[in-house]
Chains A and B, each alone.
Chain A
Amino acid sequence: MATEFHNLQELRHSASLVTKVFIQRDYSEGTVCRFQTKFPSELDNRIERTLLEETVKTLNSYYAEAEKIGGQSYLEGCLACATAYIIFLCMETRYEKVLRKISGYIQEQNEKIYAPRGLLITDPIERGMRVLEISLFEDRGSGGSSPSSSMSSGSSAR
C-alpha cells in the first residue's frame, strides 16, 4: 500500500491528502515543549517506528535546548533587561535561533525520510506548538481506498 514518491515536489504535485495524524504534547514534565513519543496507529504501515521516534526525540531535545534555563539564558535575559529590551531589535533570541534550526531539521527529515513514504511533517510552530502534524498522502492513482478511510473516520466522529 505504501506508494513510492521520489521527492517532495512529486509528492505535492501528484499526491492527494488523505488524512492528518496529530501527535499531541506531552505535559508530564511541566510546561516545557515536548511531544509524545507514542507511535500513532495510523502510521503503522507507512513508516518504521524507530524513525518517527527518532525524529520526535530529536525535536524534543531541540525544544529543551531552546527553553533551557541556564547560564546563557540568564546572560541574555540580564543583558536585555539592562538595555530595556532594545537589544532584541538587533539580536535574535536564543529561542528563535533554535526554532530556525528546528525548521531546517524538519525540512531535511521531510526530504530524506518522510516524503519518500508519502508523509509530510508540519513544523509545530505553525500549529502554535500544540501538535506535531503529520500529513498522509496517497498517490492519486490508488486514491480509491483513501476517501473511504477518511469517510469512515469522519462518520465515526459523529
Chain B
Amino acid sequence: MSQMHHAALDQQQQQQQPGQYNQICTRTSSCGSPAPAEGSEPSSCPGHRSRTPRRKWQVFPGRNRFYCNGRIMMARQTGVFYLTLVLILLTSGLFFTFDGFTANKRSDTETSCPFLASNLTPAIPAVGGILFVFVMGMLFRASFSDPGVLPRATPDEAADLERQIDSAGCSRPPPRTREVLINGQTVKLKYCFTCKIFRPPRASHCSLCDNCVERFDHHCPWVGNCVGRRNYRFFYLFILSLSFLTIFIFAFVITHVILRSNRTGFLSALKDSPASVLEVVVCFFSVWSIVGLSGFHTYLISSNQTTNEDIKGSWSTKRGKDNYNPYSYGNILTNCCAALCGPLPPSLIDRRGLIQCDTPHTVSQSNGTSSSYASTQLRSHMCDQDQCIQSTKFVLQAAATPLLHSDPVVLAPLPGKTATLGGPCAYLAPTQPSLPSCGGDVLTLRDAAVDSHCHHHLHHHHHHHHHHFVSPEETPCTTPQGALACPAHLHLHPQPHPPVPSPAALYDPASQDALHEDSVRGLVKLSSV
C-alpha cells in the first residue's frame, strides 16, 4: 500500500517537476536558507498543528524582538529606547508649542504663544521641524533595522568546521583561532561557540542580543539595538542631527527667554514660559553628552575604527610600533565616504522569509530520497542542547506509550494533496545553544541515518523540539510499509483529513518498537552527555 503511495507521489512529483523546481528555486533565492533556528517556545502539542507557514523571524535564535511581522527588529530591552523617544518628543513638542511655532498669533503676554515665529522669523520652526523629522527618521532607522547580524551556522557547516579544527591539532584543546593577514597586519579570527562560526574580522558577538554582528560597533541601549555594519550610518546621522537639534533648541529657547526678559524681566519671563525651563535643562545635559558622542564617532569614522576596536586599543601604536589599522583607506575623506556613503549590504538573516522544509536539492519527495531526507532532517536538527531535550522526551514518550496510541498516525499523504512541498510545512531547526557542542553524538546519528534506507515521507516536518530524529527514522526499517510511524510526529502532520485506519493499525506495533528503541537511545544519549 505504501508502494502505491510512493508511486502516486512520484507521479505527482514528475508532473509538477518543472514548475516545482522553479518554485523551489525562487523561494530559496528570495527567502534564503532555513537558518538553524528554533522557536523559543513550543507552540505545538499533540492535536495542535500550525498550518500557516511560519516566518523565519519567529524562530530566530538570537535574543531579539520582532514587530510588524518581522519588519522591525530590536534588542530585548527597549526601555531606554522609549526614554529616548519621550525625551526627544517632549522637548521638541514643548519647543514647537511654546517657543517656536505658527506665525499667526502675536502676543507679548500670553504664554502659549508661538513667540519666536512671530517675533523673529518663521524659518526657525521650519528648520527645527526639518531637523526633528530627520532625527526621528534616523532614530527609527537605526533602531529598527538589522545591524548586520550573522546567521548561525547550519549543522553541516558546524560539523565541517569541527572536523577541520580537530584535525588541525592534536593538542588539547584544539586551537579555536585563525590568523589571517590583512593588508600586512595579522588579525586573529575567533571561533564563536554560540554561532559556531569563525567570526569575520571586525565582527563581534553581542552578549545582550546573543548574535554575532558584522563590524560590531557597540550595543546602544538608547537606540535599543546593536550598532553594526548596516545601521552605523543611521546611528551616526542620528546623533549628529540630534546634536544639531539640541543645540538649535537650546539656542532658541535661550533667545526666547532673553527676548521675553527684555520686556518683562527675567523672573517673570521664566514664569510666563515654564516649558522653556524644562527644555533648557534637558538640552543642557544632552548637549554635553550628545555633542561629545558625535565628536567621538566623527573621529572613529575618519580613522575607520569601531568603538569596539578603539576601546580595546586594537590598532593603537601602544601595542606595537608596527600596529596600524589595516582597514583604513589612509585618507580621512575616503574613510568618511566609505562609512557613510558606501554600499548598504542587505540583511543576511531574511526575517520575513517563509520557513520551508529544506533547500531544493534535498527536498525531493520520491522513494529513494529517504537517506537524503534523513540527512537533511538531521542536518537541520542537529543541535546539542536539543539532543538532550530530545533524549529526555524519548524516554518520557516511551513511558507514556499507552497514552499515545490513542492518536492515529498518518504520515502518508493522500495523493492529490502533495501539492507544494513547502506548503504547510513548518520546518524549524533547533537553536544553536551556547553550550559547547557534543557534536560527536550528532555525527554518529547522522551517519547512521544516512545508512538507513528507510523510506519516509516528507511529512517529517519537525516542529521545534519535538522529536524528530534519527532514532525513529532508523527503526522502521523493519516495518512493512517502510513508512515511519513515530507517534511523536502525529501532531505535526499538516494534512487536515482524517487518518486512514488501516495504516494506523499497522503502525502501532512499529511505533511501539520505535518508541522503545527511542527510549533506549534517549537514555544512552543522556548518559553520554
Contacts and interface: CB of A to CB of B under 8 A. Distances in A.
Contacts of B215: 31
Nearest to B441: A158
Nearest to A102: B29
B150 A12 contact: no
Given A27-B201, A84-B134, A120-B361, A128 B343 contact: no
A12 B21 contact: yes
A123 B233 CA distance: 28
A84 B131 CA distance: 11
A96 B201 CA distance: 23
B28 A30 contact: no
- Which applies to chain B's interface (DSSP): helix, strand, loop or mixed? helix
A150 B450 contact: yes
> Looking at chain B, what size class is its interface with the partner chain?
35 or more
B372 A15 contact: yes
Which residue of B32, B348, B362, B447 has the most chain A CB atoms within 10 A of its CB atom? B447
Contacts of A67: 342-343, 345
B448 to A, nearest CB: 8
Interface string B170-193: 000000000011110001010000
B375 interface: yes
Contacts of A74: 337, 341
A123 B201 CA distance: 22
Interface string A1-44: 00000001101111111001010110111110000000000000
Interface stretch (B96-104, B159-167, B427-435): B159-167
Interface stretch (B258-266, B363-371, B468-476): B363-371
Contacts of B201: 27, 30-31
Given A93-B343, A127-B154, A150-B450, A17 B376 contact: yes
A95 to B, nearest CB: 5
A13 B200 contact: no
Interface string B322-363: 000011000000100110111111101100000000011111
Contacts of A90: none
B457 interface: no
Contacts of B137: 84-85
B8 interface: no
B255 to A, nearest CB: 28
Contacts of A78: 341
Interface string B1-39: 000000000000110011001000100110011010000
Nearest to B30: A103
Given A25-B200, A30-B326, A69 B440 contact: no
Contact of B344 (A95, A129, A137): A95
Given A27-B187, A27-B189, A31-B202, A66 B444 contact: no
Interface of B: 13-14, 17-18, 21, 25, 28-29, 32-33, 35, 133-134, 137-138, 141, 150-151, 153-154, 156-157, 159-160, 162-163, 166-167, 180-183, 187, 189, 197-198, 200-202, 214-215, 233-234, 237, 326-327, 334, 337-338, 340-346, 348-349, 359-364, 366, 368-369, 371-372, 375-376, 439-440, 443-444, 446-447, 450-451, 453
30 contacts: A9-B21, A12-B363, A13-B14, A14-B368, A16-B371, A20-B160, A25-B200, A30-B327, A31-B215, A31-B327, A67-B345, A74-B341, A77-B342, A93-B346, A94-B343, A99-B346, A120-B360, A122-B359, A126-B33, A128-B150, A130-B150, A143-B371, A147-B447, A150-B450, A151-B447, A153-B163, A154-B443, A155-B443, A157-B166, A157-B440
Interface of A: 8-9, 11-17, 20, 22, 24-25, 27-31, 66-69, 73-74, 76-78, 80-81, 84-85, 88, 93-96, 99, 103, 107, 120, 122-123, 125-131, 133, 135, 137, 140, 143, 146-147, 150-151, 153-158
Given A30-B327, A130-B157, 5 more contacts: A9-B17, A22-B160, A130-B197, A135-B361, A154-B447
